[in-house]
Amino acid sequence: MKKNSQAKKKTLKRIVSYTKPYGKSLAGAVVSAVFYVVLNLTTPVLIGQAIDKAVGEGNVDFSAMLRIIGMIALTVIGSAFFQWLMALFTNTVSYMTVRDMRRDIFAKFNYVPLRYIDGHPHGDLISRVINDIDSVGDGLLQGVTQLFSGIVMIVGTLVFMLAIDFRIAAVVVVISPLSVFVAAMITRLSHKMFIKQSRTQGEISSYIEEIVGNQKTVKAFGYEERSLKDFEDINERLRVCGQKSQFYSSLANPSTRFVNSVVTAAVTVVGSINAINGIISVGQISCFLTYANQYTKPFNEVTGVIPQLQSALAGASRVFDVLDEPEQSKDADSAVELKDCKGSIDIENVCFSYSPDRKLIEDFNLKVKPGQRVAIVGPTGCGKTTLINLLMRFYDIDSGSILIDGIDTQNITRNSLRGLYGMVLQESWLYNATISENIAYGKPDATIDEIRAAARKAYIDGYIRRLPDGYDTIITEEGMNLSQGQRQLMCIARVMLCDPPMLILDEATSSIDTRTEIRVQQAFNAMMKGRTSFIVAHRLSTIKEADIILVMRDGHIIEQGNHRELLERKGFYSTLYNSQFSSVKNVI
């Protein structure tokens, strides 16, 4: 329990630290709250005076009442104005804080290692950026508003009550704290449920993102009923923890209202006795009843927003979990900017695994001369794509070294290292922008003529020019208004525009028809001349022209040579190659 309380305090402290840049708005909110409360508390005094001017037969002082009514109107208008001003300042603090948190967590995604992104459901990460930060915003907006006005209201009301009658004020002060005690007990009960609710919201967001994004596969395998059942299971768990969290937190408001009713009753009884004894007037009793209600009202308001506050703390803890993740190691101080290279690559005694208990690549060695084409083949899971990840430093090796032109990649800045490669993956990625912007993603300053030249080399220029808006056509999210083949040609054009010194082609033509593939392959062949190139391919017919073919299995190179040499050995490569032209199934 103590550890949980410390965690909540730490989370709250970090949220407050985000509001520090907006100290002026916070100060404005405090000043506005003071004026709002003072004017608000002046109104009951004026009303009490008006009542006293009308008590007793024939004692109505109309001129005095009219003057008091005018003053009441001014205080009400002034109170409303400063309440609006306080809301404006608190809204500014809340929305600016949420903006900064969302900006920080999005930036964090760009700096954490890819291992972290790959190891977490993407839907859950999206939920932290959207749902959890929205919860922080809602809780902060409610909490800050109630906090400022509540504290000032309690202090101000107490001062006014003591000025009128300290005995009745003492009754209010003694009984009111019971509502705080009750609220604190309920808060401890509900916090765990709100944490669980936030986690389950992330889980359901992840599942929805996964299923909706892969509806073709779901329908192709008749998974609709099973996916619905799985969704219902998660949804039911979310209902249960959400219902419990709301139930526990909803106890706070009626419990504190009960305590406040006791306060009102006590004030009425004590005030009536004092009025009978001539200690206070009827108008002062009316004033005291209003103050008693206003004194306890902040407790009600704070307990009323407990659900939002608890949800905000739960969401903030999940956001800070991401922000506290270690970032990828920084480039060494001695790291160099390698913008041009000959293309010599030496891989020496490299070991790597995604998890310590499962070895993948062990004692890997390879020497690639400048301009050579290196094809990488092997069964699924043998380490082909992993080798590409290591070359690009998407993941850092566990031991050994990878050298480019004799320089260890650990001593080359990541940006310049990745700029040496042009990479076309099997999974094409386009974003919501124009076609020209998508092609120029790696070279934003490219001219339209350069973009069109790259598109012609990728054999996509003709299709683009036939579109109504040509190169200004907007591509929808993930490029869903294009075919898979067209999306891949766009990605190929993107690489051709960058014209890098080295190439990585990971099943780059897998979604293209045979005729277009032949033409694009010709463009690739022209592009690969004089460039060190790595080609990952399952269709072995596409790599016959490679200078070196690496045959991988279980993270090791088991065969190495050109196409003719490997066929003559009649080893594993020969078996793989021949299996693609025979009716034999499951050769591997």
How many domains is the chain built from?
2
What are the residues whose beta carbons fall under 8 Å from the beta carbon of 339, sequence distance 6 or more?
416, 419, 420
Say if residue 204 is in the same domain as residue 308: yes
Quick check: is 180 in a domain?
yes
Provide φ and ψ at 280, rounded to 5°: -130, 165
Q: Looking at residue 434, what DSSP letter applies?
A: E
125 shares its domain with 262: yes
pTM of the model: 0.70
- The helix (run of H) or strand (run of E) holding residue 294 is helix 282-304
CATH number for the domain harbouring residue 576: 3.40.50.300
Q: Which stretches of the chain drop beneath a pLDDT of 50?
A: 583-588
Last residue of a domain, one of 300, 323, 346: 323
Its domain, for residue 405, covers 330-420+547-588
Domain co-membership, 293 together with 348 = no
> Taking a C-beta distance cutoff of 8 angstroms, is the pair 441, 426 a contact?
no
Furthest C-alpha separation in the chain = 124
Query: Do 339 and 319 belong together in one domain?
Result: no
Same domain, residue pair 299 and 399 = no
DSSP per-residue codes, 206-260: HHHHHHHTTHHHHHHTT-HHHHHHHHHHHHHHHHHHHHHHHHHHHTHHHHHHHHH
Same domain, 361 and 263: no
Q: So what's the pLDDT on residue 77?
A: 92
123 in the same domain as 239: yes
Is 297 part of a structural domain of the chain?
yes
3-class secondary structure, 544: coil
- Residues near 457 by beta carbon (within 8 Å), at least 6 away in sequence: 493, 496, 523, 527
Residue 523 inside a domain? The answer is no
Establish if 557 belongs to a structural domain: yes
- The span from the CA of 319 to the CA of 109, in Å, is 12
DSSP-derived pairing of the beta strands 421-424 and 502-506: parallel
Same domain flag for 270 and 350: no
Q: Is residue 465 part of a domain?
A: no
Tell me if 213 is assigned to some domain: yes
The tokens describing 87, both together, are 């809301």
Q: Are residues 171 and 303 in the same domain?
A: yes
Task: Say whether both 172 and 265 belong to one domain.
Answer: yes
pLDDT at residue number 60 = 66
Contact assessment for residue 60 and residue 66, using Cβ atoms and an 8 Å cutoff: no
pLDDT value of residue 586? 44
The pLDDT value given to residue 452: 93
Mention every residue, 6+ apart, whose C-beta is less than 8 A from residue 33. 82, 86, 148, 149, 152
Residue 292 counted as domain residue: yes
Digit-coded pLDDT (tens) for 525-569: 777 878 888 988 766 666 777 888 888 887 778 888 888 888 888
Determine the Cα–Cα distance for residues 145 and 192; give it in Å rounded to an integer.
25
CA distances from 548 to 233, 344, 372, 532, 563 (A): 52, 14, 7, 11, 8
- 129 plus 232 within the same structural domain: yes
Q: Is residue 428 part of a domain?
A: no
Q: Do 138 and 90 contact (CB within 8 A), yes or no? A: no
* 3-state DSSP percent of the chain in helix, strand and coil, to 5: 65, 10, 25
Q: Of 259, 293, 323, which residue constitutes the final position of a domain? A: 323
pLDDT at 587: 41
> Last residue of a domain, which of 279, 299, 323?
323
- Domain with residue 221: its CATH number is 1.20.1560.10
Shared domain for 221 and 244, answered yes or no, is yes
Count of beta carbons in the 10 Å neighbourhood of residue 287: 27
